[in-house]
Chain A
Amino acid sequence: MTCVLPVVGEDGLTRMVRSCVAGPTFDGTAVRWADVGTVPADCVGAPRTS
């Protein structure tokens, strides 16, 4: 997993959040567990595929 997790913010946007600094405790429902280890395509600043 290392440091960053895809976490949904209060604005509804997903950001890669550093668990070492912004955590280590998050609201579990805000973590996109199924996407851990990836950068979801709808994440803020996600690499563009085209």
Chain B
Amino acid sequence: MADLATSVGTLGLPTPVLTASGCAAAGRELAPFVDLARIGGVVTKSIMANPRSGRPTPRMAETPSGMLNSIGLQGPGVDAFLADDLPWLLAQGARAVVSVAGGSTAEFVAVAEKVADAAAGSVRPVAVEVNISCPNVANRGLVFACDPVASAEVVGAVREVLPATLPVWAKLSPDVTDVTAIAAAALDAGADALSLVNTTLGMAIDRATLRPVLAGVTGGLSGPAIRPLAVRCVYQVAAAFPGVPIVGIGGIRTGGDALEFLAAGASAVQVGTAIFGDPSAPQRVADELSDALDALGVARVADVVGAAHRPRPTQGDT
């Protein structure tokens, strides 16, 4: 049986399969289906400074091989999250990655400072993921992740207020011309790892009413429909920045899907949309990945990370 242990920078994980932010809240609703301590980790839903009700409904729409969501970052606010949700998750033995979000750099910093205060005590996540796919209120709602300067400003500001021992993962958007330019900005600003990728912006029209299906008009497209796009981003960033830790995200439904991301250069992956149809998916995907590695005769996850970048064997090589 293959050894699934992996690492994202300095962070060791027993398996490379985590939950993706926004698909399992703070883990409580997954607990009846998977052992939260056994999976690689739980990335919490992005937390903001204040409670948020989210957007009006409909918020989700099924699309071919995927789904659209326009939730609007509903959440309890960072104070309630740190008082109730995160302690519960840590008490389950889970490795918690706290996703932070904001409508301004100041809000990102305010949230990160409170996470840092909690981490100084006993409420300590294993990493912080910075969700920079949020509209920047101060810049006409332009998403931070679409602008290298804004991306660097947010990532650098969050990095500065967190202890050096707490890794910062920057979660990038695929909705850019050159994802490596945003990756470079995030890394220069101090990101310890990159999470690739967030949803891509999409839209669906109701064919009877001829109106947008989502109340928010546009939404984030996720699921298997975006997997090739996500694999491409991981591959490009891994090629541009060899050795930089990458967490692959985007339409992972099976162990074989996870294997693609590892070969493209990710050392861990996150499962998101698949959870809605199969809440056991984070564990099942890890089990299937183990089988896939066995079938290849590979003993360790590390042996396939970045395999797609290796030169093709020439004729006559064994």
Across the interface, A45 reaches (CB within 8 A) one of B53, B56, B59, namely: B53
Closest A residue to B60 using CB positions: A2
Task: Report the bound CA distance from A37 to B215 in whole Å.
Answer: 9
B46-81 with Cβ < 8 A to chain A: 50-60, 74-75, 77
Tell whether A44 is near chain B: CB-to-CB under 8 Å. Answer: yes
CB neighbours of B60 from chain A (8 A)? 2-3
Closest B residue to A46 using CB positions: B53
Closest B residue to A48 using CB positions: B50
Task: Report the bound CA distance from A44 to B51 in whole Å.
Answer: 7
Closest A residue to B77 using CB positions: A45
**Contact across chains for B29 and A45 when beta carbons are under 8 A apart:** no
Instruction: Identify the B interface with A (CB < 8 A).
Output: 25, 29, 50-60, 74-75, 77, 215
5 example contacts (A-B, Cβ-Cβ < 8 A) are as follows A4-B57, A16-B54, A36-B57, A37-B57, A44-B53
**Contact across chains for B53 and A3 when beta carbons are under 8 A apart:** no
CB neighbours of A43 from chain B (8 A)? 53
Task: Report the bound CA distance from A43 to B55 in whole Å.
Answer: 11
**Contact across chains for A3 and B57 when beta carbons are under 8 A apart:** yes
1/0 per residue, CB under 8 A from B, across A1-23: the answer is: 11110000000000110000100
Instruction: Identify the A interface with B (CB < 8 A).
Output: 1-4, 15-16, 21, 36-39, 43-47
**Contact across chains for B77 and A38 when beta carbons are under 8 A apart:** no
Given contacts A44-B53, A46-B53, 10 further A-B contacts (CB under 8 A): A1-B58, A2-B60, A4-B59, A21-B25, A36-B57, A37-B215, A39-B56, A44-B51, A45-B50, A45-B54
Closest B residue to A44 using CB positions: B51
**Contact across chains for A3 and B59 when beta carbons are under 8 A apart:** yes
CB neighbours of A47 from chain B (8 A)? 53
Task: Report the bound CA distance from A43 to B215 in whole Å.
Answer: 17
The DSSP consensus for interface residues of chain B is loop
CB neighbours of B52 from chain A (8 A)? 45
CB neighbours of B215 from chain A (8 A)? 37
**Contact across chains for A15 and B53 when beta carbons are under 8 A apart:** yes
Closest B residue to A4 using CB positions: B57
CB neighbours of A21 from chain B (8 A)? 25, 29
CB neighbours of B56 from chain A (8 A)? 37-39
Q: How far is the CB of B29 from chain A (nearest CB, A)?
A: 5
Q: How far is the CB of B39 from chain A (nearest CB, A)?
A: 19
CB neighbours of A39 from chain B (8 A)? 53-56
Across the interface, B54 reaches (CB within 8 A) one of A1, A4, A36, A37, namely: A4
CB neighbours of A2 from chain B (8 A)? 57-60
Q: How far is the CB of B221 from chain A (nearest CB, A)?
A: 17
Task: Report the bound CA distance from A37 to B54 in whole Å.
Answer: 12
Task: Report the bound CA distance from A13 to B81 in whole Å.
Answer: 18
